[in-house]
Structure 1
């Protein structure tokens, strides 16, 4: 039993070290990409460059993360607001309509949403933001709905017994207790958005998709691999970071997300 416990403690430590190493390599690559040229050189042909050089990789990464952050924040505000509204007695009848709204992004592929958004917003970052916003609504809405509708009745009764108003109960009891489940939805939505944002480069949005598309158009697999690796590493690190936050909040509230 003691040996099993020691092994269980070593596993999280090893995972932390691996994540830290991945983060360190990613930062080093973005800061000094040319130093990694020998790694990607075997993937090139006819003397093509091994490292994408049409724009600084760190600038493209920051732009990519910025787009995802803005879209995820907007999706969180709208989805949580809708879920809160339909869990109130006055808004219960609007649940089917709200579900239809948040399902729009999942009904159409992101590329189709981008194509429809370009005539409205033009080329650039705005159609990408719109597509990511629609695509990110559903996980956050459904998780918020789950978190708010599965609260312990005894806790809600206690809040009512203390004389709390509906607003006070929502802000001081319901949302704090539902927060771990809400964060789980935000985590899923954000990671999906991070990966989906690569297609934004098809409508001239600045981001890591630019590296991948340039590689596909020129037949340079080095560009494709390095762009894909950066996006994948960011997705894993972001998922782990938001997961750690979710677990910390869950421990504080005493509620489990899964």
Structure 2
């Protein structure tokens, strides 16, 4: 990251932090977008609380999707697991093609209202990017390098843990980054089934005609997406340099 990019990153991080800690100090900025005498800053639930809950939900979903997708990709690239590939790819594609709203509608009767239906939708929606990038990373490894690892006497498990996954890490991280950013935006729909997310602010603004609330929710989600995408991209670049993988 360049110096200018780092300064911009820190500035956005600082602005977001100040807004979440002292949202009332921005009341005059949002007042023109609030109808009548409506409060210009959302107060029903603290914005900081919603942000933390939103991030925790996305983190849990990304972790679960990563474990499933990486596991499927590893199984599909083993000689004995080639039959797993069609099933794993079909499951990952299903998660992307089946609308998250439909997943919520099906999950609510089973799990009830709350964060669980949203978690299920986010996990299914996040499988494909991680699965495909992990598969690409594992399948693009130099066969000569794999043969050298065998020649060193490494078992299949040792080769996977010590050689294959570390070398494929940059590609895996790129999938995790995409899933994280997608999850940040998609998690807003969780508020329709009583999950505590930043969608609560946006939906409240839409229902009351208060554009100020919509702008606040949109700003926080967008800022988080930019910050996490930039941060994860830097980690991805560092992993690529360390492994020698093209970044």
Q: What do residues 194-234 of structure 1 show as CA deviations (whole Å, max 9, x unaligned)?
A: 11000000000001000000000000000000100000000
| CA positional deviation for 1:104 | 1.6
Q: Which moved more, 1:98-107 or 1:50-59?
A: 98-107
| CA positional deviation for 1:110 | 1.1
Q: How high is the TM-score relative to the length of structure 1?
A: 0.94
Q: What do residues 98-154 of structure 1 show as CA deviations (whole Å, max 9, x unaligned)?
A: 111111211111111111111111111000000000000000000000000000111
| CA positional deviation for 1:46 | 1.1
- Consecutive unaligned residues of structure 2, counting only runs of 5 or more, are none
Kindly tell me the number of residue pairs found equivalent between the two proteins.
247
2:60 to 60, 70, 75: 70
| CA positional deviation for 1:159 | 0.2
CA RMSD of aligned residues (A): 0.8
Pairing of 1:117-132 with structure 2 (within 5 A): 117-132=107-122
Determine whether 1:17 maps to 2:7: yes
Q: Contact 2:72/2:84 (CA < 8 Å) preserved in 1?
A: no
Partner of 1:3: none
2:176 to 173, 180, 186: 186
Partner of 2:237: 247
| CA positional deviation for 1:38 | 0.5
User: Using the alignment, how far apart are the partners of 1:130 and 1:45 within structure 2?
Assistant: 36
User: Using the alignment, how far apart are the partners of 2:110 and 2:246 within structure 1?
Assistant: 42
Determine whether 1:176 maps to 2:185: no
| CA positional deviation for 1:157 | 1.0
Determine whether 1:81 maps to 2:71: yes
2:22 to 10, 32, 53: 32
Pairing of 1:124-143 with structure 2 (within 5 A): 124-143=114-133
User: Using the alignment, how far apart are the partners of 2:56 and 2:114 within structure 1?
Assistant: 14
Q: How high is the TM-score relative to the length of structure 2?
A: 0.99
